[in-house]
Chains A and B, each alone.
Chain A
Amino acid sequence: MPDAHEKVSFPEQIARNKRQTVVVEGIMLLILFAVVYLVGAILGTPPVVTGVLAALVSLLYVGFTYANATSTVLLAAEARPANPAVREEKLLQYKVEEMALAAGLPVPQVYVQDSRDINAFATGLAPEKSVICVTRGAIEQLSQEELEGVIGHEMSHVANYDVRLATVTIGVVGAIAMLAEIGLRMLWWRGGGRDRKVNPALLVVALAALILAPLVSRLVYLMLSRRREYLADATGVKLTRNPQGLADALEKIKGDLPDDPKGSRTAAGLYIANPWNHLSVSSVWSTHPPLDERIRRLRAM
């Protein structure tokens, strides 16, 4: 029922996120293709063989990472399913069910990250296959009202497909970074062997691509994720009808030193607040808008 999403998000926003997901995959496909092709060229394999191989490898990689993006993210975040035998985690599941009802969406799976910090994120490829993960720190330190605000924020990321874009981007960024790393290693290893004629210009291009690929994909991802937080704050409040809850939660996050981040740093942009640092000044490299500004906007509602 696509109409049910209207309340928390605009159809154009969903369409844009789906489109951008395809663009991200397309870009990654091209980068992977180029990297494999260049590595092949350096190794001196015939162009036809490298071409077919590069196409195969890049398609397989993107297909595989897409299919497994959600579990990759959960694994990278060291998250575990919530334990309903523990009262607070049962109550957390209740809150997620409540917010799903408010949004008119299927209930996401609930995961917990065993970190002392206050944080949360959502992941998944579609609302019916989504996961909301909250840290132990958040469960222990946030009131039910504040927790509700946080879940509402995550639920709006789910509703407008921000989560698909972010999940796919992280899945593929991880793959790219890994591939580039492997490529570089191969290049070093090859360089040490018998000397075969390799065009030095090609070598420079290959090296540049290998080094730039992860950087570029990371920058693209950062640019994508930043602006979405204000929007998710606002649409989350539409669900809870209580800007106070989320504002108080962000206030607590601000006061909480991010000293216990868990999992991979690649997923930083996914969280409600960056688990590695709560910068108060905005820069091209920050994954989130400053907390102060977000709190100010919520208080003004």
Chain B
Amino acid sequence: MALGTIVAIVVLAAIALFALYVISARNRIIRFDNSIDNAWAQIDVQLKRRADLIPNLVETVKGYAAHEKGVLEGVTAARAGLVNAKSPEEANAANNVLTQALGRLFAVAEAYPQLKANENFLQLQDELTHTENKVSFARQFYNDEVLRYNNAVTTFPGTLFAGSLGKTKRGMLEIPAPDREVPKVKFS
């Protein structure tokens, strides 16, 4: 009887250990997946804040440089694109467009000393730069989380459970390439 009991205990222990291992491996994937969503939430907050700041900025600039219509409309349109974005990828792309539009606006603002001296404008510029930095650092964190998750689901033992959990690789957010456009010089 002693041998039988020992064998039974060993087998049961092995099964219990294996079950624990499976549970922890599955939970790891779920946890990593959730933390990507959490990282996205951090970006989303910043994007909303950015979108909220834009109308105020446009109004302020209009007060000094109303005839810079094209640039102002570009910013407004880019903001609309961001607000209407449906997925993280779309929102990220729309935000990159907005960043470029804002870049043009701030470049134009250089020509208006009174605008540049406006306290409200300065504050908005600081805060918009700040939210843009926050977006890029939060995006960096997001992409790291995606990488960790993707590694987990595509390598052993994650590959065994990813399918049954319905977890597949997730996409990273594109980081805009630094503006390397060389000014065109025409010789004719």
Residues of A within 8 A of B (CB): 1, 3-4, 6-7, 87, 90-91, 94, 97-99, 101-104, 239, 241
Shortest A258–chain B CB gap in Å is: 30
- For residue B27, give the distance in angstroms from its CB to the closest CB of chain A: 12
Residues of chain A contacted by B141 (CB below 8 angstroms)? 7, 101-104
Distance A3 CA – B31 CA, assembled complex (angstroms): 9
> A3-B31, A7-B144, A241-B140 given as contacts; is B39 within 8 A of A104 (CB)?
yes
- Residues of chain B lying within 8 A (CB to CB) of residue A3: 31-32, 35
A91 touches B126 (CB 8 A): yes
Having A7-B144, A91-B130, A97-B134, one finds 14 other A-B pairs with CB under 8 Å, namely A1-B38, A3-B32, A3-B35, A7-B141, A90-B126, A91-B126, A98-B130, A98-B134, A99-B137, A102-B140, A103-B141, A104-B39, A104-B141, A241-B140
B159 contact set on A, CB distance < 8 A: none
Q: What residues of chain A lie closer than 8 Å to B126, measured between beta carbons? A: 87, 90-91, 94
Tell me the dominant secondary structure on chain B's binding face: helix
Q: Does B109 contact A (CB under 8 A)?
A: no
A103 nearest in chain B by CB position: B141
Tell me if B138 is interfacial: C-beta within 8 Å of chain A.
yes
Chain A residues positioned under 8 Å from B130 (CB to CB): 91, 94, 97-98
B: residues with CB less than 8 A from A are 31-32, 35, 38-39, 42, 122, 126, 130, 133-134, 137-138, 140-141, 144, 148
The SS class assigned to the A binding surface is helix
Residues of the B chain whose Cβ atoms lie less than 8 Å from the Cβ of A94: 126, 130, 133
Query: Cα distance A102–B31 when bound, in Å?
Result: 19
Nearest CB in chain A: distance from B147 CB, A:
10
Which residues in A have their C-beta under 8 angstroms from that of B144? 7
Q: Which of B35, B137, B140, B148 contacts A1 (CB 8 A)?
A: B35
**Chain B residue nearest to A1 in the complex (CB):** B35
Q: Which residues of B contact A1 (CB under 8 A)?
A: 35, 38
A-B residue pairs, 4 tightest by C-beta: A102-B137, A94-B130, A101-B137, A101-B138
Nearest Cβ distance between residue B166 and chain A, in whole angstroms? 21
Tell me the complex Cα distance, A1–B32, Å: 11
Does B148 lie within 8 Å of A6, measured CB to CB?
yes
Q: How far is the CA of A125 from the CA of B166 in the complex (A)?
A: 40
Q: How far is the CA of A3 from the CA of B144 in the complex (A)?
A: 12
A4 nearest CB neighbor, chain B only: B35
